[in-house]
Amino acid sequence: MASHSESIIREPLITGDNITYAQITNDVLRPVENMPGRAWWIGFTLASLGATLWVFSVSWTFWYGIGEWGLNKTIGWSWDITGFVWWVGIGHAGTLISAILLLFRQNWRNSINRSAEAMTIFAVICAATYVVSHMGRPWLAYWPLPLPNQFGSIWVNFNSPLVWDVFAISTYFSVSLVFWYTGLLPDLATIRDRATGIRQKIYSVLSFGWTGSVKTWQRFETVCLILAGISTPLVLSVHTIVSMDFATSLEPGWHTTIFPPYFVAGAIFSGFAMVQTLLLVARKVLGLENYITMFHIEAMNKIILLTGSIVGVAYMTEFFIAYYSGGEYEQYTFLNRFIGPQWWAGCMMYGCNVLMTQLMWFKSVRRNVPISWVLSIVVNIGMWFERYVIIQISLQRDFLPSSWSVFHPTWVDMSVFIGSIGLFFTMFLLFVRVLPSIAMAEVKLILKSSSEQAKKKLLAHGDLDPEQVEFYKESLVKFDSVEIANYQKA
């Protein structure tokens, strides 16, 4: 059935009075069907300036080679791979939200999955550009592919984690794209059927002729469920394989068996933080407070807290194992994170990722929009430093003390990184402008069961356990989009 009554003690997922199906369409499509406001233009100008910087610095790298970066004989991987792993990690939240939370029947994912998936795709694009850039000779980027060749037909080495990584990232990107676009079809059809002229023609091509007939929906749901089922192990495999790029080496600080789960937790951690960074702004600017409610924000903060704590446990395990191994190189590597020349990077990593997120234990922190937003950025600063510390600080102390070195980024390193952030935001802002940032069909699905007005109807109907009603009313206090006064007189 389209609707079933949900227990009163569950918090509403859509707030506001008189939300109809048409209202949802109007609210979500407002930024798509109207000219964007000043906030969008300011953001877009800044972001595209960043993207221009990215184009310039990546072109510079291609023209002059990676000698323009601050790499040296000892440190062959630094900001490039740091940026790559950082972006891939950020790109984990989208598929996690759309796949794993779908399998767990977490209905609150319905209003955040679309923009989280879009963000995932843009983050993976940013990550992929690092991979191509760091090859030095990008026109040979096809070398990791298993193609027949003229080198005595020597094939790619399938024993190598770097080849696994090529497969993992490309599969992850293309499957995420398919999942995202298939989910977009019904919403594109909605835009098409409301548009006129050239816009209607464009959205008509994009919507593949979607009509919303019974059979289409039935097959659509099967496809989404199976895609979710296969994306769940996929999303876990991607960062597992990324971590194996390091874990299968013989480098102290890298060759740790704990890396796969540790990296996956860190990836989800940073991904949710980026979703939080984007959505806290988007809900305000686009006026979507009724769909992305305080419940959603708090739920995401809880996931950030959980994964941040898993990362914290992984850090402690690493230190313990370094001590317990008795290997002096291993022990020195971990000591070097605090007493080495870049001790501040280690402090940033542990401080931002472990100490700051522990603040999320407090309700008042989880439910505070400005603090959550700042913390979400702190998390991603911390996660950048995590990769920097693992990659670069482990490398800077070689086995030969005469080779010891420190990495100093050049302006090209910094521009590629800052530029990739600009590129990411350019793509995200364009997405918000031309595509619905909330999955309308999926939000409509829960309107009759999980919205505030549905709960109100239940309350008006009476015969509910008064204790549960009290519990429900108390849970509403945290919402910034609910008029609490309406409940006190009732």
Partner 1 sequence: MSKTKYILGLFEDPDEMMHGIDLLQKNSVPIYDVFTPMPIHGIERKLGIKDSRLGYAAFMFGCLGGTTIFSMAYYMLVHDWPMNIGGKPAFAIPDFIPITFEWTVLFTAFGMTLTFFFATHLFPGRTPRVMDLRATDDRFVIAIDAKGSTPHEDITKILKDAGAVEVKHNDRKYVSYE
- Residues forming contacts to partner 1 in the complex (CB under 8 A) are 1-3, 20-22, 25, 146, 152-159, 161, 163-164, 167-168, 171, 174-175, 178-179, 182, 185-186, 189-190, 192-194, 204-223, 226-227, 230-231, 233-234, 237, 241, 440-442, 444-445, 448
Cα 415 to Cα 49, 79, 202, 264, 408, distances in angstroms: 11, 11, 35, 28, 14
**Which CB, 348 or 446, lies closer to partner 1?**
446
Comparing CA positions, the residue from 95, 141, 140, 89 lying closest to residue 114 is 95
State the nearest-atom distance from the C-beta of 399 to partner 1, in Å.
20
Q: Are 40 and 433 in contact (CB under 8 A)?
A: yes
State the nearest-atom distance from the C-beta of 89 to partner 1, in Å.
18
State the nearest-atom distance from the C-beta of 262 to partner 1, in Å.
18
**Which CB, 28 or 81, lies closer to partner 1?**
28
The Cα–Cα gap between 13 and 320 comes to 43
**Which CB, 367 or 448, lies closer to partner 1?**
448
Comparing CA positions, the residue from 248, 272, 249, 342 lying closest to residue 95 is 272
State the nearest-atom distance from the C-beta of 43 to partner 1, in Å.
29
- Torsion (CA) 253, 66, 341, 266 in degrees, nearest 10: -40
Q: 316: Cβ–Cβ under 8 A, 6 or more apart, which residues?
A: none
Q: What is the DSSP letter of 482?
A: S
**Which CB, 139 or 142, lies closer to partner 1?**
142
Token reading at 451:
């919205």
The Cα–Cα gap between 449 and 303 comes to 24
**Which CB, 274 or 446, lies closer to partner 1?**
446
State the nearest-atom distance from the C-beta of 230 to partner 1, in Å.
5
State the nearest-atom distance from the C-beta of 95 to partner 1, in Å.
11
Phi and psi at residue 463, to the nearest 5°: 35, 50
State the nearest-atom distance from the C-beta of 77 to partner 1, in Å.
21
Burial class from Cβ neighbours inside 10 Å (0-12, 13-18, 19+) for residue 152 reads: exposed
